Amino acid sequence: MNAVKTKGLLRKVFGSQEAAARELGYNPRTVRYWCAFGSPPHVHHVLRDLAAGAITVDVARMRLREERSKRHRIGDRIKPVKIVAPAP
């Protein structure tokens, strides 16, 4: 999403980028990247819900962690290769 909106939401909810990184369990470099170039849509939705008071920080952290694990699950995307031994 838009970098300006992301930065505004982070400042509104957490006060600073460092506090946002600490509370959400992300690397500070990742949060700085979001502020410079915009956040992914799933992060923006979580930040928007946090700013509206619809969810707590713990729920936001859980939702972001679930999405991150979905994106980094490699075994689900790769089809197993059938190994065939050469004929004698």
Domain ranges of the chain: 3-71
The tens-digit pLDDT sequence of the chain (88 residues) is 688 889 999 999 999 999 999 999 999 999 999 999 999 988 999 999 999 999 999 999 999 888 877 766 655 566 666 777 777 6
Q: How far is Cα 52 from Cα 60, in angstroms, rounded to an integer?
A: 12
pLDDT the model gives residue 30: 92
Q: How far is Cα 21 from Cα 31, in angstroms, rounded to an integer?
A: 6
* C-alpha torsion sign, points 5, 54, 42, 30: positive
Look at residues 64, 70, 9 and name the one whose alpha carbon lies nearest to residue 38.
9
pLDDT the model gives residue 74: 59
- DSSP characters over 44-85: HHHHHHHHHTSS-HHHHHHHHHHHHHHHT--TTTSPPPPP-P
pLDDT the model gives residue 70: 72
pLDDT the model gives residue 85: 73
pLDDT the model gives residue 86: 75
